[in-house]
Structure 1
């Protein structure tokens, strides 16, 4: 008997099937235009862009012009790239245009799919951002798909590290911009630290398509982008505390691998306190529980995490004397990414590399909040369905699974579960030997560098040739993956399985052509391509006959998506393929989720060494465990987002305020309002409403007014007058402050030029706002670190955080008003004496620059003369072109007059007294 749910699916299809069916009309409309569009000349096809733009400007919706725009791109792709998008790719493009996630299997051509919605949305002139996971893909896709856009008259830019602001501004000004999530996020933060609107590089957030959307919006969502500045150097403290951890034993701490946390036991606290006292890190008589010990406790906890949770070659690698983190989801190195709160420094101390100073946060944002800035957001990936709930609740994105162009012919085996890791690896090596002997290409997925290198060592012992792809060989990623489809090829990949580059059976023709042309530039490209295509055709037949690509997983990841990404490398475009996962009870996932119970059961069942348990029920049990981990991670991210949303609202307010300040020509009214607010608050504090005159704190008020405005006003005398109330005193102070500000403005403008005071106000407002915001971020970080303890008092930490963060934000605004009033109150025009001194310093500086230029010219001439002398001597001509430069004794040289120095050796100390070598100082070639 079929269940009602199963019966409903059979009769009406799944929800996804019905959604896909709804896009069929769009496909038919695009196909109906194909004959008409393909008949156009190149110029007429290019002219479609202007026609469609005009229709949109006239008020027509993007949905109305979609069929024509998609048909135009399809024809342009055929003419420029020789690629005609399939009907399922049209569906994928329509899904993206609707602001959804298009889940398409590997090899279905997601890169080409994006061109249709990108082109359509770029016609608005507001700019479209295409987000990739790495710089290689950003460059590759901008160059590859850019041929379609430029053919149709659109401009394409690419954002990569190392380019300056002018190049970035030009790239963002293009109709279509390619770049990585990090570059977009950091540009947004940098823009909101600029002091002029024209210095900003981004021009808004209209529409973004995120490639590998699950990787960027989920895997990396927990890590905020941070722009930071250096803090106090505490290298000695890190090194001293690092020596303590190896002296602890297992009774001193507890490690929770599920929560990725470590805690000291009561016994451990006592042991650490004793060791800190012995090593002189804690002052004599001070306890670990004292408030003054908070820094030492924090560093001990971070050192403990560094030693017990972070593993070399799994969580990070040591390269060129630096700790480089490894992305747990993709296995890629995260250059430039550092762990915060001293954890990175603790790992540096553990590994004995140079400890870089800690940083303080200047600006930060999570990817979750950055990508929610876009008016419309879409994404594409091969694996998103398992996280559809998270995409819907956080980003408002629906996941639609687009059918494949050809039916999937891959065979997915049940998991093989062994008792020990050694048995598992032995079985894997035997399977690889078997597959390679039949000429079957094999892709082996591991979860860490350490395990990939362990397996590689085993394969070397058995004489099996192979390629290893992990963070150590990141640069060769595309090349290694392109070769992974050759008959008998064995490729070991760490959690990345070639994202962005197709594994084509027989090998990747395009990559091979580029490689050979680079090696043989004089070769005929057409003949070379034909020869390579012929050899690859033969190789593909061999690989197909052997069963296609065999994906072997060496253990299950805690996320089903990562396993599906690995599995999805096989069986592209209807090719045959196979996937098998080999597990052991010693694997992290199995060990954390109750392997002891399973191990006892297997022993009772009499499982022999080397035997594996294989059953669909095992698969289901493992998937349930993975589902639990995914649900827990989702809850963590959701909770983090709730806290970050509080900061995000404040961030938007501050960044919006900055933009208004930069956009304004005249801030005099804003500054006056701030001044009035500060004075009104001071008067209200010291002369409260309905208070008797003898309760007024007029002496304190007078001192405060002087400190804030720089004015010495007789507040006490005013208060002593008959019939004077708080409002009269307030009016007099405001009048005096406004009058002084007007006089100051007139004097400054008269001395430095009209509008100078307006520029000073703008610059000062931005600087003080930034300073206050940076201090506020530090306060919020500290608040967030301790707010969880409110739970012990039966209070909701999130509500407490919201309340206190709001109070801190109010304090920020109050402090800003006071800072602006005080700093502007201190500004005054220069006296005639100060002006004369300033002019003298400018003239001295200019004279010094002139003397330096003349000395450089003389040195250059002397250098030419000595060259000529050397040439004459080499040719046997004894006559000198110039007189030899004389040697002068050190005591006869005048440091201020280079002409008295005579000949100075290149490695001698410079006679000017700078302490530098002559070649690095006055002897430096100009």
Structure 2
């Protein structure tokens, strides 16, 4: 069968060949427009953008505009950059526009390829994201290719580290936005932590082209993006709060050991208010003012720590740490911590070091982030080996684009040595040989450590290392080549992106020696003889346009051409691999640095039986066999069979890594479904003008749940738990209703109870809405709901993390861990939503907004002469413009109980001037 397949491919071509052939027909149509567009003025060429936009607005599809749009971009690039898209680059652009991966060899100009599909898709006005692997490439490409887009009337933005929200919002609002995968992902997460739609920076996920797609969607896909917030170190605060608890007596709190809860009584609250005031920890007059929510929370936790949690039962203190004891097994759980400040409360109680909490605020994997886009495409030099993964996970097909000129690079069989020492000696010998002949050399290593090891070997042989951070590094390399008297080499290891780009661009100089980790300098083309653009930037700087600059540019180009011919005569760039990577894709990426655009080139990998990959796949046996066969020190085995065996070993490792990523994704997909629900809900809430209906539905659901818990279906009233229901109605709805008496009424049913509770709760909320006004109440409801949702979502993320860490053990019970995880995470999610309804309802039912009365502004005549002229020296403003400075103390004897206007400023804990005998905050001050 395999033989028949090979015959069919020879006759009809592969599926890839057929696809490329179809696209060539479209290229012919684009080429047919070239002469016409060359005859247009710059203004007429630019005007085509507005024509295309109008056609799209009138209902024309993007596919109908592909030919004229691609032809327009090609002509604009020719005029602005002096670069004309090759036919194969147009084919690559069409593949990207189709939402597929364009595999193009290194040096085929992928950066330029992207301009055509980016321009076409940006015409819709929905934005196009171009994703790169580092900030340097994002900035470089946005500036370089941005010249084409701006010429055609499109706006360009770039997202790099360190921008403000306003700068990011402006960049995302542009037609084309360049940025790194990390920045796009983190902006998405940060947006979903905002409390206002206008403060979000991204505007949607329309179309993304991912450069170096294999690096971003495969290599980096294993690690999720996580925003975690260290809950600030507040050790002193916890200790201060802890010091209040010994003052609390039995009548100051209520304990429910069954429900594991402890709450302060009214007497306890008043005592704490006085203590907090004395320590300047109370904002305003009341413990339950909105500003004091955090203080109240930590007081509750401190009360729990002292009155509910017992040392050596619930926890132990070991080596100065509070360690939780599992209530079911009685075993210690080191590393686990109570959340919500409870663990800190226990640490304060036990007088040990208080550790600040770390909390996952939001997380997402790159796999799930990039699947948010309506259309996704990618480009790289090496994707074919991971084609199955791209199709399976992202639905992206890989299309191999033929090179513009035939590849002349010679790929030698691997050389295998017995020891690392012998291998490095052979590499140094080859480097010496190439350098003497004037052949540029790029040595690829698998890690920074290996780069430094090889550098040490070269130094022993009289080579000197150039510091890549030195701005004159290029000049030294170049002058050394010219003089030929200094043996220099540069080491790149993906730490200094901008300097690396400058050095890697010159790795094609005759005799240049560059050591790089396999990924270092990726995205920058190695041109034989040097890179003219880099030379212009370095040597001509800001020299203005004119005859002098043109002459200097021509001289540099002539010099580069002479150096290029010298490098070509020596055999082109020689790529040396110091060992095989566990992925064939990385090896192919390294090889592909040589032989660009029809240039000659050479590549060879040097291996030893002590390399990681060889060691894993049984080199011990091979070592013994080679010794028996009489392999001498310094000799190597070279045979195509070894290459095939290594390729199979790499395939096995790739398959295993793919399975790991796929399995991780299955688990993350469960969380992702929930994340989408929560994030979509947040945006709806932020966009909603008033959410009274949503809050009312939540309140009614809470009442349904309360009644269902205490009144079993079809039960007689005497079987009802009316005491429990009345207690929960007090705790959650803050209503003191005669629920116990209702059960004694004849013919009463659970529906009647629900209805009465609904009416009572709705009446309270209606009173608040009319009192504060629907607009203010809507803002308060929105704020409470969003903050509660965020708080519970973070807790839920922590719970899912804990569940993930233990779910694998279910496999021992012959149960599928993934299925178990799905079931339990869904249960946790439903519980989170129930908690959301209950917590939001409880907060809103208790919430009272405090409005401080603003007394009439005093006239100048009312003020002492000196104070009338008193201005703040820093602002020049009259200090008496702030209401808090205006309240005058009114003596108790001057207050008329019948006339509140005579009361002046009344303290919230004072007796109400109306004569009721209640505190002001519980009487006339309750609703102001």
CA contact (8 A) 2:136 2:498 kept: no
Select which of 515, 530, 540 maps to 1:492: 515
Deviation per residue, 1:185-212 (Å, 9 max, x gap): 1111111111111111111111110000
1:46-61 paired onto structure 2 within 5 Å: 46-61=46-61
Select which of 797, 809, 812 maps to 2:829: 809
Q: Which residue matches 2:434?
A: 435
| CA drift at 1:100 | 0.3
| CA drift at 1:413 | 0.5
Aligned equivalents of 2:452 and 2:542: distance in 1? 30
Provide the secondary structure at the position in 2 that maps to 1:704.
helix
Select which of 690, 696, 700 maps to 1:676: 700
1:78 equivalent to 2:117? Answer no
| CA drift at 1:666 | 1.3
| CA drift at 1:839 | 12
| CA drift at 1:600 | 1.6
Q: Which residue matches 1:420?
A: 419
| CA drift at 1:533 | 0.9
Q: 1:725 to 1:279 in 2, by over 3 A?
A: closer
Q: Which residue matches 1:33?
A: 33
| CA drift at 1:294 | 2.4
Aligned equivalents of 2:228 and 2:783: distance in 1? 21
Q: Which residue matches 1:650?
A: 674
| CA drift at 1:9 | 2.0
| CA drift at 1:33 | 1.0
1:745 equivalent to 2:745? Answer no
RMSD: 2.8
Aligned equivalents of 2:433 and 2:856: distance in 1? 84
| CA drift at 1:723 | 2.0
| CA drift at 1:295 | 2.0
Deviation per residue, 1:381-417 (Å, 9 max, x gap): 0000000000000000000000000000000000111
Select which of 752, 775, 792 maps to 1:728: 752
Deviation per residue, 1:218-248 (Å, 9 max, x gap): 101111111111158799xxxxxxxxxxxxx
Deviation per residue, 1:803-843 (Å, 9 max, x gap): 00000000011000001100001112438xx6579999xxx
Q: Which residue matches 2:741?
A: 717
Q: Which residue matches 2:846?
A: 826
Q: Greater CA deviation, 591-600 or 801-810?
A: 591-600
Q: 1:389 to 1:674 in 2, by over 3 A?
A: same
Aligned equivalents of 2:154 and 2:232: distance in 1? 49
Aligned equivalents of 1:643 and 1:655: distance in 2? 19
1:293 equivalent to 2:313? Answer no
Aligned equivalents of 1:685 and 1:567: distance in 2? 69
* Structure 1 residues without counterparts, runs of 5 or longer: 236-276, 299-354, 841-846, 859-926
Q: Which residue matches 2:802?
A: 782
Q: Which residue matches 2:622?
A: 598
Q: Greater CA deviation, 194-203 or 495-504?
A: 495-504
1:769 equivalent to 2:789? Answer yes
CA contact (8 A) 2:186 2:225 kept: yes
TM-score by length of 2: 0.77
Q: Which residue matches 1:665?
A: 689
CA contact (8 A) 1:744 1:829 kept: no
Q: Which residue matches 1:313?
A: none
Q: Which residue matches 2:776?
A: 756
Deviation per residue, 1:25-67 (Å, 9 max, x gap): 1111101111111111111111111111122222221111111
Provide the secondary structure at the position in 2 that maps to 1:581.
strand
Q: Which residue matches 1:504?
A: 527
Q: 1:174 to 1:284 in 2, by over 3 A?
A: closer
CA contact (8 A) 2:129 2:177 kept: yes
Aligned equivalents of 1:647 and 1:558: distance in 2? 30
Q: Which residue matches 1:333?
A: none
Aligned equivalents of 1:285 and 1:373: distance in 2? 40
Aligned equivalents of 1:297 and 1:589: distance in 2? 37
Q: Which residue matches 2:409?
A: 410
Aligned equivalents of 1:761 and 1:621: distance in 2? 66
Aligned equivalents of 1:495 and 1:66: distance in 2? 37
Provide the secondary structure at the position in 1 that maps to 2:406.
coil
Provide the secondary structure at the position in 1 that maps to 2:228.
strand
Q: Which residue matches 2:597?
A: 573
TM-score by length of 1: 0.77
Provide the secondary structure at the position in 1 that maps to 2:130.
strand
| CA drift at 1:853 | 4.3
Q: Which residue matches 2:815?
A: 795
Q: Which residue matches 2:259?
A: none
CA contact (8 A) 1:484 1:491 kept: yes
Q: 1:855 to 1:121 in 2, by over 3 A?
A: closer
CA contact (8 A) 1:769 1:816 kept: yes
Q: Which residue matches 1:460?
A: 459
CA contact (8 A) 1:698 1:715 kept: yes
| CA drift at 1:111 | 0.5
| CA drift at 1:768 | 0.6
Q: Greater CA deviation, 430-439 or 2-11?
A: 2-11
Provide the secondary structure at the position in 2 that maps to 1:485.
coil
Deviation per residue, 1:86-128 (Å, 9 max, x gap): 1001100110000000000000000101000001111111111
Q: Which residue matches 1:148?
A: 148
1:518 equivalent to 2:541? Answer yes
1:123-134 paired onto structure 2 within 5 Å: 123-134=123-134
Aligned equivalents of 1:296 and 1:105: distance in 2? 49
CA contact (8 A) 1:417 1:614 kept: yes
Which contiguous aligned blocks of 4+ residues in structure 1 show a shift greater than 6 angstroms? 232-235, 281-290, 355-358, 519-523, 836-840, 855-858
Q: 1:283 to 1:718 in 2, by over 3 A?
A: closer
Deviation per residue, 1:843-868 (Å, 9 max, x gap): xxxx99x989427999xxxxxxxxxx
